[in-house]
Chain A
Amino acid sequence: MAEQQQIAPDQGTADAEFLARAQKGDLAAFEALVELHRDKVYGLALRMTRSDADASEITQETFLSAYQHMGEFRGEAAFGSWVHRIAANHALMRLRHRSVVQAAEQELKGPEFNERGSFADYPATDWSRRADEKVLDDELRVAIQQATDHLPEGHREVFLLKDVEGLSYEQIAEITGDSVPAIKSRLHRARLALREAIDRFYNEK
């Protein structure tokens, strides 16, 4: 899988120009906007649903919805953030209709402590700087994908929307209907479980 694309510094300007033309009915300008944002929208949908077919349909629904509501878009937020939120809504609606076998919250692994509240094991490797390495180890990529897949659904959604997609707590609360404190609690538990999975990868390698 390719890594997430960097947003070019002038993308905001390009978005604004294409959007202004698209709002006047220029379909080619709208298609240019779609091309600029389709990977991010598809990536979100694929991460959320774990299905190519669902991700493809959600991407179609998202851009069709964006086209139909383009007249209402006033530019308070970036166009990219706006379609991202539409995509998150569509993805969550689809997930809510699925009957998923949920992992139990108590199965979430975090660090272990002794009776004095100190770490039971001293981490052998501080791998924090590996996050910036140019090439990501393929085995690590798989380990992270598997660990994310094993999170309970509510934790996985919050983690993806906040830490991967970059939505704010308030935006997630609006989309999911959950309270901000509940979202923060799930995010923390998800991060601890994923940190633990990465830690196992580096320390058992």
Chain B
Amino acid sequence: MFTCKESVDLLLRFLDGEMPEDEARHLEEHLAACPPCVDFLRTYQATPTLCRRALGAQMPQELADRLTQFLRQKCRK
């Protein structure tokens, strides 16, 4: 059976569904017996979602207007 460290190392491949069946079964056995790893898996999975939300950006109107002017000038040539 895997240790917590080995399980954490395999999480990306596990979540991408790229792990051989027997390796995935060993990891699932570890997760079934290890609540800290289940919590870790959940927070590892939630990380990209939180980061996407934190890093969102909108173009300021002034720059958007400048973009329109730039493209009108260049695209009409």
Contacts and interface: CB of A to CB of B under 8 A. Distances in A.
Bound together? yes
A163 B36 contact: no
Residue of A111, A116, A119, A199 with highest tally of chain B CB at under 10 A: A119
Main secondary structure of the interface of B (DSSP, over half): helix
Given A31-B71, A34-B68, A198-B50, A144 B55 contact: yes
Nearest to A202: B43
Interface string B1-39: 001111011011100100000000000000000001101
A46 B59 CA distance: 9
B8 A111 contact: yes
Interface residues of B, number: 43
B49 A131 contact: yes
Contacts of A42: 57-59, 63
A128 B58 contact: no
Contacts of B5: 113, 117-118
A60 B67 contact: yes
Give the bracket for the number of chain A residues in contact with chain B: 35 or more
Contacts of B59: 38-39, 42-43, 59
Main secondary structure of the interface of A (DSSP, over half): helix
A123 B40 contact: yes
Interface in A148-176: 148, 159-160, 163-164
A44 B68 CA distance: 19
A67 B77 CA distance: 12
A144 B54 contact: yes
A49 B5 CA distance: 34
Interface of B: 3-6, 8-9, 11-13, 16, 36-37, 39-40, 42-59, 63-64, 66-68, 70-72, 74-76
Given A117-B3, A148-B51, A191-B12, 15 more contacts: A1-B57, A2-B57, A2-B58, A27-B72, A42-B57, A42-B59, A42-B63, A47-B55, A59-B59, A117-B6, A118-B36, A144-B54, A159-B51, A192-B44, A198-B43
Interface of A: 1-5, 27, 30-31, 34-35, 38-39, 42-43, 46-47, 52, 56, 59-60, 63-64, 67, 110-111, 113, 116-119, 122-123, 126-132, 136, 140-141, 144-145, 148, 159-160, 163-164, 184, 187-188, 191-192, 194-195, 198-199
